[in-house]
């Protein structure tokens, strides 16, 4: 036996790999790649438990509905409260790319006291998710600004534009 031979080394091409380690590094790369792929599939396939809550948030935080076929505009109610005159005016229905948007505004003593979103796009889960987040923000902005001069909600530009147009229509009816 010569000094450059290792009696415990496996012969090249054996079932257990090559003695140089080249096959071992390739196998490690493949295992690492497959592990990464598995983690990504699991991560992107995970559905959170709050997905169903988004659609429920729209109906609980925003007054929706009204008589079937409500597409026009006009005063939907008026009355007197202990503090003064109150009237509710419905803005025109604005057709957007994703569906109609329509708001009803309650004015008490010249101030916007409530905004009900009568119609909004809700044809699919993505619409419901976007509007569950955007509509309460738009309503709050309206109550704070006391006008239709509100900021658009990022990611809900189409709904925001329809909301502002319908809101302005309702406010024009009150002032005109």
Same domain, yes or no, for 79 and 112?
Answer: yes
Q: Is the model's pLDDT at 67 over the cut of 50?
A: no
> Quick one: which of 150, 134, 148 has its CA closest to 91?
148
Q: Answer yes or no: is pLDDT of 129 > 70.
A: yes
Residue 2 lies in a domain: no
Q: pLDDT-derived band of residue 101, with 50, 70 and 90 as boundaries?
A: very high
Task: Output the pLDDT for position 123.
Answer: 87
Given a contact cutoff of 8 angstroms between Cβ atoms, the answer to whether 77 and 90 are in contact is no
Same domain, 40 and 57: no
CATH no. for residue 99?
A: 3.90.1010
Q: Does position 139 have pLDDT exceeding 50, yes or no?
A: yes
* Confidence tier at 174 by pLDDT (50, 70, 90): confident
Same domain, 74 and 139: yes
Tell me the per-residue pLDDT of 69-87, one tens digit each, with 9 for 90 and over.
333 444 444 444 455 688 8
Residue listed under structure tokens 């309460």: 136
Residues 92 and 116 in one domain: yes
Q: Is 137 domain-assigned?
A: yes
Q: Give the length of the chain.
A: 176
| 28 shares a domain with 107 | no
Q: What is the pLDDT of residue 85?
A: 83
Same-domain check for residues 105 and 77: yes
Residue of 93, 95, 60 lying closest to 170 (CA atoms): 93
Higher pLDDT pick, 112 / 68:
112
For range 10-36, the mean pLDDT: 71
Q: CA 117, CA 58: separation in Å to the nearest integer?
A: 10
157 lies in which domain range?
51-175
- Is residue 30 a part of any domain in this protein? yes
Query: Do 132 and 58 belong together in one domain?
Result: yes
Region 34-59: mean pLDDT is: 65
* The pLDDT of residue 151 is above 80: yes
How many Å apart are CA 108 and CA 137, to the nearest integer?
21
Q: Do the domain assignments include residue 130?
A: yes
Examine the pLDDT at 138 and tell me if it is beyond 60: yes
Q: Per the structure, how many domains does the chain have?
A: 2
- What is the pLDDT at residue 163? 93
Residue 133 has pLDDT above 70, yes or no: yes
Least confident of 17-21, 104-108, 117-121, 132-136: 17-21
In terms of domains, do 90 and 153 share one?
A: yes
Residue 114 located in a structural domain:
yes
pLDDT of residue 164 exceeding 70: yes
16 with 57, same domain?
no
């Amino acid at each position: 036996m010569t000094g450059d031979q290792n009696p415990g080394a496996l012969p090249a091409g054996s079932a257990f790999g090559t003695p140089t380690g080249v096959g071992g590094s390739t196998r490690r790369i493949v295992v690492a790649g497959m592990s990464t792929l598995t983690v990504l599939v699991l991560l992107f396939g995970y559905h959170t438990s709050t997905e169903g809550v988004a659609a429920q948030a729209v109906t609980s935080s925003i007054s929706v509905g009204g008589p079937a076929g409500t597409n026009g505009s006009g005063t939907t109610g008026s009355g007197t409260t202990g503090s003064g005159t109150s009237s509710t005016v419905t803005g025109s229905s604005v057709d957007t790319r994703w569906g109609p948007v329509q708001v009803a505004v309650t004015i008490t003593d010249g101030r916007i006291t409530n905004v009900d979103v009568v119609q909004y796009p809700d044809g699919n889960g993505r619409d419901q998710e976007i509007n569950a987040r955007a509509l309460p923000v738009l309503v709050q902005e309206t109550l704070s600004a006391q006008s239709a001069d509100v900021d658009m909600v990022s990611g809900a530009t189409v709904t925001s534009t329809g909301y502002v147009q319908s809101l302005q229509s309702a406010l024009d009816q009150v002032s005109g």
